[in-house]
Amino acid sequence: MIAESIHKRLKVEELDTTLSTLRITRPAELEKMRQSLERSGQLNPVIVRLSDSNYQILDGFKRYFIAQDLGWEFLDARILDIPLTEGKAIMLSYNRGGRSLLDYDEALVIYNLKSEHLLDQAAISGLTGYSRSWVCRRLALIEKLDPALQDALRMGLITNSQARALVKLPRGNQQEVMRCITIWHLTSRDSSVLVEKYLQSDSRKEQEYVLSHPREVIERSYAKEEIFDIRLSQHGNRLLKSIEHLLTQQNIFIGLFPQHLTGKLSDLETAILDEKIKRLKKGAVTIQSIINDKTWKNAG
């Protein structure tokens, strides 16, 4: 999308920030911008469009808010004379290369084009330059994602990848699966597996088991994958398989042991498991010794 522009030094008070509602302001990013402005001054102009008697910001909200806080009177600006819909589309294109926009920021703009300007997916695709499937995925983050999850996404409690996985679930199930993801500190990859296993459950009882034993369910899923690397010898692949199995069982143990049920074991159970724990501890010491011994890299 190309638009003719002029450069001009504008008064901060002339700038219109109404479109800032389509961007999420993150404290860490504001602080980074503050440090940059204080150290080097304004390096890039804010992008604005002519709007009645003022200038509507399309890109550069962080620069504006920090400049205002620092008491600056002027900001360098690049002024575009374009319609509002094109201005909103440009909010996406100016940030495409650096990926400073997250999926949800993009979703806010796409949904706004649909709801306020009544554009369908084909029209939005043509306006923004993105495919219809891309547009559809962004709309889903607004239309199909539970409001509580949207709040969690804005606050950084879940990642964009996790949100994309969760949106596959019916709205009524999204919050409980999100709680499982956050409580167990699951990665984006693990979260995707969890959602798939939840969706594959045939009953509510199976769903509850998935959410009660997420690490076990996830690691079992990974264990079904073939463990083989064409670059390794037969012995190397045997070591690889052994390591992967150790990692699987390690993650299951780490997930199970801290549970509140561990503290409710009977004296008999504790006595039986204590012997196993001692053997586990001894084995862990041996494994740690092997890992610390770098000479294995030069063996043979």
Query: How many residues does the structure list for the chain?
Result: 300
Residue 29 has a pLDDT of 83
pLDDT, position 300: 47
Q: What angle do CA 50, 69, 73 make, to 5 degrees?
A: 55
| pLDDT score for 134 | 93
pLDDT of residue 68: 93
| Residue-level pLDDT at 299 | 52
The amino acid that residue 3 corresponds to is: A
- State whether residue 47 is helix, strand or coil: strand
Q: Which structure tokens are listed for 114?
A: 């649909």
Angle of helix 147-154 relative to helix 103-117, nearest 10 degrees, comes to: 130
Instruction: Write the single-letter amino acid at 252.
Output: I
Q: Is the pTM of this model over 0.75?
A: no
Residue 295, pLDDT score: 59
pLDDT at 15: 95
- Show pLDDT as tens, one digit a residue, over the chain (300 residues): 456 678 999 999 999 999 999 988 778 888 999 999 999 999 999 999 998 778 999 999 999 999 999 999 999 999 999 999 999 999 988 765 544 557 888 999 999 999 999 999 999 999 999 999 999 999 999 999 999 999 998 888 898 889 999 999 999 999 999 999 999 989 888 999 999 999 999 999 999 999 999 988 888 887 666 677 788 888 888 888 888 778 777 777 776 777 667 888 888 888 888 888 888 888 888 888 888 876 566 554
Q: Give the pLDDT confidence score for residue 230 in this predicted structure.
A: 81
85 contacts 79 by C-beta, under 8 angstroms: no
CB 16 within 8 A of CB 87: no
pLDDT at 207: 95
| 1-94: CATH topology | 3.90.1530
User: What residue type is assigned to position 31 of the chain?
Assistant: E
Apex CA 223: angle with CA 222 and CA 224, to 5°? Answer: 90
